[in-house]
Chain A
């Protein structure tokens, strides 16, 4: 199948293409130099914006926790449902859409790659079952490793290399993509009803600190040559005054950076940029974080932008979810995943009239505006924690238009104005920068070589939006922007047109990416017997039944990584 996209305004930041009118040729699911114009299907993109397919670095779309959220919230679904059509399957929304609906809705917005950021290793099979059922988009998942007993023990003994071999086994066994740390140390402490409140607090029974866990796994990440950095949800998340913890977390791996490359990704940074002593004095700490990030090159962040709506918060951070439950009084789920991690789910309504929620809203945007380099701050809502991913078009409008931000600010609690710098910021992103924060930057941070750009050899994942950058003024016509990003004119996945004018044209399966980490010597031999004994003692699943085999994935896309250990 050949395809030629003609005359679009192409934004391809990774290849330095900034709004130039050019043709994109596609053959056999890849982008190529040229195709036979007579044979190829022609898509006329004149007067439209052509970008690589969207990439989402952090969006909870599958797994045990997401599914518990679905079960917990029937009222979330009954007003937002999609009927089956001859081409697509039925499903429900809103904040925790069913798998099929998740795939279709992402594709409609021009997204083609989505990362599920929290997979308890024990729930890996469940997560992959759901990922396999999520159509169109390519996906991957990050196993939660930061509170895993084996890792804590290795780090306590300072055995970085053994730890690296173990993590390599873990990632391959769970078919994961990156190392995820959630409230490092805190989740282990939560198993005993406690938490850690700074990076130097001791984890009970292990005698190590979150700092050692973060540094240890950062070193492991480097030894294994993983494409993404460690993906960190900081300690003290969602607590007033926690911007200090976020800064500490960034500082603690400063010396591990090399070649100006990032070694740490702080996720949903809005939730860890709170300044103030308590909820009443909460204000934005985005300025301090932005100042640090602007002068250092070893971190990337994503926004975790708050949307004013009724949503469902779900993280592996049990103690944080407990705090939210106490604040909201809503129904909730809390779960301790054996020796691995914990999790919690609380439905939550962000209200424009609440000073705290309004301030949170401005923190997210303030981070995106104050951090000068768009490659360092990526656009997410931490779906569904700060809002469902379907709100991305609205965020794009806020980023591109000061007027759009003002229009929303007017409806908010007036305290939001005095507690953040946002009202005084004039910066507006252009299409080039939007292409960075929504696809190129995300793909680069993830180390995805074939995604997020339109160079020859890249996967033919392309989004075309019906916007003419020559005639349209985004800062005034922000509604047109959000409308166009909501319904892509075309979404092309693997060289096939899957969405046209916001309508899904076909049901296709996306692949699941995972890392096949090759260590110098097979790690299993030395740890095998000891691990088997431990599994028998502490897990409900036997060692033999634990790994996810490759045939478990609908379309498996292994990425081979050669480790240094």
Chain B
């Protein structure tokens, strides 16, 4: 088990793809300290920016567990491309957390920046604070969205969560910004609280369930009826009545957009269409 402590408050963005259990595995502390990172436009060694410690614990914690303590809100690309192992961040973390990760687990006890879990292919990310914009969404312009894995956020998220998603699951226990599931092609997004609007814009397939208030549904969605419950994943079913909409018709889509009936009385006029 390895512990990392930042040695200072970072003023410039730090690009640290090397902070990943895959890279650390089989390396000694001295070797880990020699890994290259970028601070602003200067190439530095990991040991110059972080204190690296090997902690020997008695309990049976997995060998390739990596814990980072402190404020990392300027440190980007932590756990990028990781395939196994576990990262625990006790503090905030910067952009591109777990970009293109394929397996393993990242837990953040703090807030995460934009593009957390961007282009993710597998594994799990758990964020106990808030997440920024573009949660699980691909790089700008790309249509290679999240294609597997699971992201759980216990706080709120920004705009474009799950954009271009192809597969996988995003659960947000707080509220979400606009354009949840923009252009999504499959997969599931669950927002327990409110959503700012335009959910499912340009979606083709997949499921978006919103348990809170959303002022209006895009006019390119058709009303399908009222459902008693929505299944989020194996073992998690939300048992409350939901309005079901299908769309987005601008893309000839058949995606499902569920909105909790109890929280959205402004949509009750749709019931006349049943």
Contacts and interface: CB of A to CB of B under 8 A. Distances in A.
Interface in B134-152: 138-144
Interface in A72-92: 72-76, 78
The interface size bin for chain A is under 10
Main secondary structure of the interface of B (DSSP, over half): loop
A79 to B, nearest CB: 9
A72 to B, nearest CB: 7
Contacts of A331: 141
Contacts of B140: 74-75
B182 to A, nearest CB: 13
Contacts of A75: 138-142, 144
Contacts of A73: 141
Contacts of B144: 75
Residue from A73, A74, A75, A78 with most neighbouring chain B CB atoms (10 Å): A75
Contacts of B141: 72-76, 331
Contacts of A78: 139
A328 to B, nearest CB: 11
A72 B141 CA distance: 7
Interface string A56-82: 000000000000000011111010000
A24 B220 CA distance: 70
B163 to A, nearest CB: 13
Contacts of A74: 139-142
B171 to A, nearest CB: 27
Nearest to B251: A329
A327 to B, nearest CB: 15
Contacts of B138: 75
Contacts of A76: 141
Interface in B114-153: 138-144
A72 B142 CA distance: 10
Interface string A443-463: 000000000000000000000
Contacts of B143: 330
Nearest to A75: B142
Nearest to A84: B41
Contacts of A330: 143
A75 B142 CA distance: 5
Contacts of B142: 74-75
Interface in B160-185: none
B68 to A, nearest CB: 25
A76 B142 CA distance: 8
A72 B139 CA distance: 13
B250 to A, nearest CB: 12
A94 to B, nearest CB: 12
Interface in B75-102: none
Nearest to B204: A329
A73 B139 CA distance: 10
Nearest to B43: A83
A325 B239 CA distance: 43
B155 to A, nearest CB: 28
A444 to B, nearest CB: 41
A76 B143 CA distance: 11
A72 B143 CA distance: 12
A92 to B, nearest CB: 13
Nearest to B119: A75
Nearest to A74: B141
A548 B181 CA distance: 48
A75 B139 CA distance: 6
A72 B140 CA distance: 10
Nearest to A79: B139
Contacts of A72: 141
A78 B77 CA distance: 14
B252 to A, nearest CB: 10
Interface string A146-172: 000000000000000000000000000
A161 B102 CA distance: 67
Nearest to B144: A75
Given A74-B139, A75-B141, A75-B144, 6 more contacts: A72-B141, A73-B141, A74-B141, A74-B142, A75-B139, A330-B143
10 contacts: A73-B141, A74-B139, A74-B141, A75-B138, A75-B139, A75-B142, A75-B144, A78-B139, A330-B143, A331-B141
Q: Which 7 A-B pairs have the closest CB atoms?
A: A75-B142, A74-B141, A75-B141, A74-B140, A75-B139, A78-B139, A73-B141
Interface of B: 138-144
